[in-house]
Structure 1
Amino acid sequence: MNITKTKALLPDFKNNLISIVMPCWKAEKFISESINSVINQTYGNWELLIVDDCSPDNTAKIVENYCKLDSRIKIFRQSQNGGPARARNRALDAAKGRWVAFLDCDDIWDKAKLERQLSFHKDVRTVLTFTSFRRFGNSKRVGREIPVPKFLDYSALLGNTAIATSTVLIDRSLSGHFCMKPIYYDDFGCWLDLLRYGQRAAGLNECLMEYRVITGSVSRNKLTSAIEVWKTMRITERLSLIASIRHFSMYALRGIFKYSRF
């Protein structure tokens, strides 16, 4: 994705509005906590775009009730289950803000997340910012804060697990049009696209997100994760075998260190 060539394709957007992208599927247990963490933000100029990916439970009904209470919350219902990338792209197509944030339907934001990160983002003037975070389990066990590097470029991101999706904020005046790729790690692929042509991502070392650890979730199967990261490097990014081995080794080592203790 050539960022300089895609700016002209972007429709007019509201300069201070943050469009929040939330895909959901079978999320009735946790989605209220996630939505409430948005409603409670100290920064109020946002829209929450929730895409229900054909949930078989009461997820859509819960979201519809929130829509009635707050006009900033909108629901989009997929006609068939297509996975997180398609759901996120549906929300991105509807987004009206200059700024785009992501929040998964089981994660939780600190109440100052948008205010603090937007201020930071305007100072560093990068295409993407991300923050530190901590994990928590269903038993409400809260883990340590996971710090993040100050900056990442394309090469550094290939060997790093630092960017958690629910911490990301993107400035569309710098990114131009962007979307998620139809791959297993659609978010990782998107961040790589955004940094491919010399852009950088800036890390804010403030713990502004709590990442829920759920047994059996997409990101918890370590063998599958490793295979899909390797495929991203070799197939999607078309790296050489030597480059793939180098970046994958760093990615794996950082992942082991990151998750070696809760």
Structure 2
Amino acid sequence: MENPLVSIITPSFNSAKFIAETIQSVQNQTYQDWEMIIVDDCSTDETISIIEEIVNNDNRIHLFQLQKNAGTGIARNTALEKATGKFIAFLDADDLWKPEKLDKQLTFMKANNLPFTFSFYDCINEAGIPLNKRVEAPLHLSYQQLFFCNYIGNLTGIYDVNYFGKIAISSIRKRQDWMMWLTILKKIQFAQPVPESLALYRIRENSISASKLDLIKHNFSVYRTHHRLNLIGATLCMIGFLFTQLLLKPRYSKTIKASI
């Protein structure tokens, strides 16, 4: 019996420094039944030529190019439309997977009859040097917990298309993954992670992840747009969010707080 196909969604934009290593981390997977769908958002560096050279030697990798710069949400949705796998996974063009990532997650999902799972992950800097920081999450993550903090790293999530269908991604520029996980948990109520690190998240200089103030602004936008809360309701949720960040979350993570 053939293994189910995993469709890997990868948006790219000016990722020449990292994209070959990212693709290599997929090619190095012990689980080999995958397709990688890369959608480029009008890169102006050597990203396209690097990907094309790799595509010529691996027919599981597919490259599509947007006609105009539209953001990662549009790029991810374009890739999602092209996906043919039973499972959808996500990997941005500068992040990395450990070799047994897919194998361990799919085995975990099957053993526990789960339509969705994620994992812990480690952080590296722009040069790929480990920062000795591991992002962990509750082993029984509820919708309410996720509402106040995005515990799920985009590079770790996998969901079953047969159970959820293809979940369209918001076209807003930031926090798209958090809204997708909230949509998933609203349906299944709680999620279980594989309790080990299976991926490497690259913290870029001047990135949204490096600016806590910008993250707070974008989280506030999620409460206003995704949850459609009024100004007062969104403000109260942000207070709850900050309370979670400062007081409650450390009990779940031994080395670093989950991404806000």
TM over 0.5: yes
Could you tell me how far apart the structure 2 residues matched to 1:151 and 1:26 are? 37
SS at match of 1:74: strand
- Indicate the residue corresponding to 1:211 in structure 2: 201
Tell me the equivalent position of 2:34. Answer: 46
Supply the distance in 2 between the matched residues of 1:243 and 1:89 (Cα, whole angstroms). Answer: 31
Partner of 1:258: 256
**Is contact 2:125-2:203 (8 Å) kept?**
yes
- The answer on 1:100 being equivalent to 2:88 is yes
* 1:145 counterpart residue number: 134
Instruction: Choose 228-237 or 242-251, whichever is displaced more.
Output: 242-251
The corresponding residue for 1:194 is 184
Distance in 1 (alpha carbons) for counterparts of 2:176 and 2:90:
13
Q: 2:155 aligns with which of 144, 156, 166?
A: 166
Q: 1:251 to 1:21 in 2, by over 3 A?
A: farther
Q: Which residue of structure 2 lines up, in the alignment, with residue 179 of structure 1?
A: 168
Aligned equivalent of 1:91: 79
Determine the C-alpha separation between the residues in 1 that align with 2:94 and 2:235.
37
Unaligned regions of 5+ residues in structure 1, if any?
Answer: 1-13
- Which ranges in structure 2 are unaligned for 5 or more consecutive residues? none
CA distance in 1, matches of 2:86, 2:244: 31
Q: What letter matches 1:177 in structure 2?
A: K
Amino acid at match of 1:248: F
What is the SS of the residue equivalent to 2:99?
Answer: coil
Cα distance in 2 between the residues matched to 1:250 and 1:120: 32
Tell me, yes or no, if the aligned pair for 1:158 and 1:247 is still in contact at 8 Å.
no
Output the CA distance in 2 between the equivalents of 1:126 and 1:242.
Answer: 34
Q: CA deviation at 1:236?
A: 1.7
CA distance in 1, matches of 2:139, 2:21: 29
Going from structure 1 to structure 2, the CA distance change for 1:241 and 1:144 (only over 3 Å counts) comes to closer
- 1:245/1:53 CA distance change after superposition, 3 Å: closer
Q: Is 1:127–1:194's contact at 8 Å kept on the other side of the alignment? A: no
Structure 1 residues 172-215: Cα deviation after superposition (integer angstroms, max 9, x where no partner):
12112311112221111111112223443221111110111110
CA distance in 2, matches of 1:88, 1:180: 7
Return closer, same or farther for 1:61/1:237 CA change in 2, 3 Å cut-off.
Answer: same
1:2-34 alpha-carbon deviations (Å, 9 max, x no partner): xxxxxxxxxxxx970000000000000011110
SS where residue 115 of structure 1 aligns?
A: helix
Aligned length: 247
Q: Supply the RMSD in Å over aligned alpha carbons.
A: 2.2
Q: Rate the CA distance shift 1:238–1:251 in 2: closer, same or farther, 3 A.
A: farther
4+ aligned runs moved over 4 Å, structure 1? none
Q: Is the 8 A contact 2:3 2:33 kept in 1?
A: no
Letter of the aligned partner of 2:7 in structure 1? Answer: S
**Matching residue of 1:64:** 52
Deviation at 1:151, TM superposition (A): 2.3
Aligned-pair CA distance for 1:247: 3.6
% identity of equivalent residues = 34
* 2:224 alignment counterpart: 234
Give the 3-state SS of the residue equivalent to 1:89 in structure 2: helix
Q: Distance in 1 between matches of 2:141 and 2:122?
A: 20
Distance across 2 between alignment mates of 1:37 and 1:172? 23
TM-score normalized with structure 2 length? 0.88
Helix, strand or coil: the match of 1:180? coil
Cα distance in 2, alignment partners of residues 112 and 244 from structure 1 = 37
Please give the TM-score of this superposition, normalised by the length of structure 1: 0.87
Structure 1 residue 220: deviation in Å?
Answer: 1.9
Aligned AA (1:148): A
Contact in 2 for aligned 1:103/1:165 (Cα 8 Å): yes
Q: What one-letter code is carried by the residue in structure 2 that aligns with 1:186?
A: Q
Task: Report if aligned partners of 1:24, 1:51 keep a CA contact under 8 Å in 2.
Answer: yes
Partner of 1:73: 61
Structure 1 stretch displaced more, 174-183 or 61-70: 174-183
